[in-house]
């Protein structure tokens, strides 16, 4: 994140001072204002966090379905409603890689197994 903000500071200073002074290529000619007039990294970081809407940018970048699946905040846990060991359990069902065949003709596939854990 520090590298991102550093490049944004550089681009921001270029854009602000280039347009504010009325000269588009201040950096190309090496004319910079004094260091005390430039924004510091801390100031830039403050305004970046204040103005940046991370949720909106993630939704626009990845879509709302992907945001809700991968990036939304998790507000609870699976232990929230449990009051002790053994009060809550989870069941998992997995299709095995084994086929059930007929005892009369082995080419007839009856089905596949399901392991329930």
Structural Rg of the chain based on CA atoms:
30
| H or E element at residue 27 | helix 26-29
Residue 70 binned pLDDT confidence (cut-offs 50, 70, 90) = very high
Residues 6+ apart with CB under 8 A from 26: 14, 17, 18, 32
User: Considering the entire predicted model, what is its pTM?
Assistant: 0.39
Would you place residue 22 in the very low, low, confident or very high pLDDT band (cuts 50, 70, 90)?
Answer: very low
Arithmetic mean of pLDDT, 13-34 = 54
Give per-residue pLDDT as tens, 27-63: 555 566 677 777 788 888 888 888 888 888 899 999 9
Examine the pLDDT at 66 and tell me if it is beyond 70: yes
Where are the domains positioned within the chain? 2-52
Please give the angle made by the CA atoms of 16, 18 and 24, to the nearest 5 degrees: 145
Residues 6+ apart with CB under 8 A from 38: 13, 17, 32
Nearest to 48 by CA among 20, 19, 14, 12: 12
């Amino acid at each position: 994140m520090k590298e991102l903000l550093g490049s944004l500071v550089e681009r921001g200073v270029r854009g602000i001072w280039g347009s504010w002074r009325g000269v588009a290529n201040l950096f190309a000619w090496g004319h910079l204002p004094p260091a005390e007039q430039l924004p510091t990294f801390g100031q830039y970081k403050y305004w970046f966090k204040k103005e940046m809407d991370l949720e909106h940018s993630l939704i626009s970048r990845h879509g709302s379905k992907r945001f809700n699946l991968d990036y939304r905040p998790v507000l609870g846990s699976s232990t929230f409603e449990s009051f002790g060991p053994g009060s809550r359990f989870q069941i998992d069902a997995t299709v095995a890689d084994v086929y059930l065949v007929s005892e009369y003709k082995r080419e007839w596939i009856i089905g596949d197994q399901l392991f329930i854990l």
